[in-house]
Structure 1
């Protein structure tokens, strides 16, 4: 019964759109923070400023082992910061789109639901928890905070091969 309800999500264009849209919105909210790349740029600017000051000192004739050591340290810091910044910018440039998420979700329609591995995948991805009571079963899906309550009559109907929640299986109920 849980598998049937999870499959009904995969087969619903409306729910696939909803899940892709909500997931994309969450993704963009989490990935718009530029504080890390901003801090790397700020550190790199400070290293470049320190290097420029040290070069002026060398041009003025102040050159000894300490200035050489400091110049080497600044060069290494600059190299490290540039590499870290390039990596961070590469990662931030690899942006998911809502279409990428929808494509991922639609792949579940191609599964052979008679295979145990396929059944496990769909339940792992979509089902958060299942609560069994004397008179109902409550399924909490990963795509929403809603609880889906299935009555004992619907469980009996499912056992007899009849789907209990109509064609879509998306009735929103509050646990009793």
Structure 2
């Protein structure tokens, strides 16, 4: 059963767009402070290819927990006119987990090269509720009992070169 619903009303788009704009402003301030005080990425940041401050706050803990569980992530946060949330990366999930996520309204897409996107439409533009949904999603993911691979996006590779 797929309960994935894409929010598309202009009113909803405005609410999510306003939330994203607020979040982006705070992230930029935090990133500038981080670069000024401590411009050296830690091991996790090197694997992710971003400073933790660059991760949108509603997905930050989910991305870090996925990394701890051995999942390599590349992109995360707002998508589709800011109405949807996603995390994607170089990983695949067992069919039983995909089915559980689907029952929660999570769209799981994978391609033949094992690249996967987890995506959902929050019911409202509430950062706390979005964080809670991500926490529920990540709690269903089994540990891979390994260190996550490095993100290999162009941006991640450039980050590692810049800060090495």
| TM-score normalized by the length of structure 2 | 0.24
Larger fraction in helix: 1
Q: Which has the higher contact order (CA 8 A, sep 6+)?
A: 2
Larger radius of gyration: 1
Larger fraction in strand: 2
| TM-score normalized by the length of structure 1 | 0.23
